Amino acid sequence: MPEQAVAGGKENSVETPVESTRERLLNVAEQRFGEGGYEGTSLRAITVAAAANIAAVNYHFGSKEALLRAAVARAMAPVNAERRRRLDQLEASGQPEPEQLIRAFIEPGLDLVLRRGERGAVVARFIGRIAFDPSQRIRELYAAESDPIEARYLSALQTALPQATPDSVAFGYVNMLGLLALHQSQALSRAPGLGDEEDPGKLAENLIAFLVAAFDRGLRS
Amino acid sequence: MPEQAVAGGKENSVETPVESTRERLLNVAEQRFGEGGYEGTSLRAITVAAAANIAAVNYHFGSKEALLRAAVARAMAPVNAERRRRLDQLEASGQPEPEQLIRAFIEPGLDLVLRRGERGAVVARFIGRIAFDPSQRIRELYAAESDPIEARYLSALQTALPQATPDSVAFGYVNMLGLLALHQSQALSRAPGLGDEEDPGKLAENLIAFLVAAFDRGLRS
DNA sequence: CTCCTGTTCAAACGACCGTTTGAACTATGC
DNA sequence: GCATAGTTCAAACGGTCGTTTGAACAGGAG
């Protein structure tokens, strides 16, 4: 077992804690997959950037798709955990408002991930891109990762919006999901300096206000 | 010049007017590109399905990307024309309501394209997919095709929503663009039978209502 | 008929793809 | 010391990619 990250070597004490090959592959994978998509990114491009051998991918993960799956799972874990935590908290304190539910969905996706400097933006773009990859196979791979919470959000939104039909609540939910993914992937910011990227917090507030209005008054009754 | 589509031959009088190789390539290209994305679709898969030779692509278009560009231009032309027509009409009859502007943007994208049976759905998915392709190069290719109208919509929306800041109007516009593309690409309909695909007209009305509410009350003032 | 232009074709080009192999290297347990 | 399990490596595997080539074919004009 080489490279145990001696945790106090001569150099790279905190800045670069000697990531393992496996971690470097995951880091570079989510960066490159987020930039070029799954089909548009080769394993060789990833392994070169990660200073790893081609065979390391199949050794640590088994295949290109398994690498993607591992990267998606790792990237989604904190987002899902935060969403669960907020849902638990909201449900524990009575009937939540629609805005609180929407906020509990959007903020973990934007805030928690965009506020972490360069790496956070990379993770956000990766998630947003994979969620709507051209290949249905890969979209399902992402959907499987966020499915468990989807049902909780749908029923919570339904009770918070009793006048809306179940179909229209589901319609609003997929719109929320889609808009979040689009802003995460930064595919909407065509020209630089649209006024969004400057402040991720402001983007979250704008998006939440947009969705709250749509949920409150834009769904069929 | 063979295959002049004799316009009244023995068979295939209306059903299959002997499409030229060029037309068959465009038809298959927008179908396959819409299903698998640009990177995920090979020229060989296209030419086999179009019953054409590989070299025909480079003869008629020059390259894979030029084929995509031609397909995008052909698919967007009627949508852009209809949007221009509606904008002209609205501007000729006084100050349009936000809903009228949103309708003039959404309906040509969904209605005009989803109401035309199988081919319309293929074209819609193609447009929606290309608009948010992982590759920035391809997204720009699409954006160039719809840019000319974008400025008109932005200024019309701004005067229809005088209380909203220019930034928030632009924010609403990209959200509208993104949601339309997502519904066109059918990437939002995960499970079959969500209640949307059954009636494209109903989807358009739901989406318009959703967006009108968001524009009217969900933008920063 | 002969030329000429437009179109199609099989075949091959070099490059890159994801995956596999088997040997080399490293640290640990005995 | 030796054996062992975990990890990395250069090299090659068969396949597919987009593109190019040069010959073959088709119809219209002279």
Give me chain B's average pLDDT, please. Answer: 87
Nucleotide closest to residue B4 (CA–C1'): D27
The confidence score (pLDDT) of residue B3 equals 38
Tens digits of residue pLDDT in A148-199: 899 999 999 999 999 999 999 999 999 999 999 999 998 876 654 444 555 7
Tell me whether residues A37 and B132 touch, CB distance under 8 A. Answer: no
The C-alpha R_g of chain A, in whole angstroms, comes to: 19
Distance CA B163, CA B21 (A): 53
- With CB atoms and an 8 Å threshold, state whether B213 touches A216: yes
Full-prediction pTM beyond 0.85? yes
Touching check for B217 and chain A: CB below 8 Å? yes
Taking one residue from A and the other from B, the number of pairs with CB-CB distance under 8 angstroms is 136
**Chain C bases closer than 7 A to any CB of the protein:** 6-12, 16-22, 26-28
Listed as ranges, the nucleotides of chain D within 7 A of a protein C-beta are 6-12, 16-22, 26-28
Q: Confidence class of residue A117 from pLDDT cuts 50, 70 and 90?
A: confident
Confidence of residue A126 (pLDDT cuts 50, 70, 90): very high
Q: Give the pLDDT score at B119.
A: 87
More confident residue, B70 or A3: B70
Residue B176 makes CB contacts below 8 A (sequence gap 6+) with B102, B105, B106, B211, B215
Q: Pick out the nucleotide with least CA–C1' distance to A22.
A: D7
- Taking the CA of residue B81 and the C1' sugar atom of nucleotide C9, their distance in angstroms comes to 38
pLDDT over 50 at B6, yes or no: no
Alpha-carbon distances, residue A168 vs A84, A146, B143, B204, B206 (angstroms): 23, 20, 30, 13, 8
At residue B16 the predicted structure's pLDDT band, cuts being 50, 70 and 90, is: very low
| Residue B23 pLDDT level (bands cut at 50, 70, 90) | very high
Q: Between B148 and A116, whose confidence is greater?
A: B148
Is the confidence at residue B195, as pLDDT, over 80? no
Name every chain A residue with its beta carbon within 8 A of the beta carbon of B213: 213-214, 216-218
Q: Work out the pLDDT band at B1, boundaries 50, 70, 90.
A: very low
For residue range A20-55, what is the model confidence (pLDDT) as tens digits? Answer: 999 999 999 999 999 999 999 999 999 999 999 999
Q: What is the mean pLDDT of residues A103-112?
A: 91
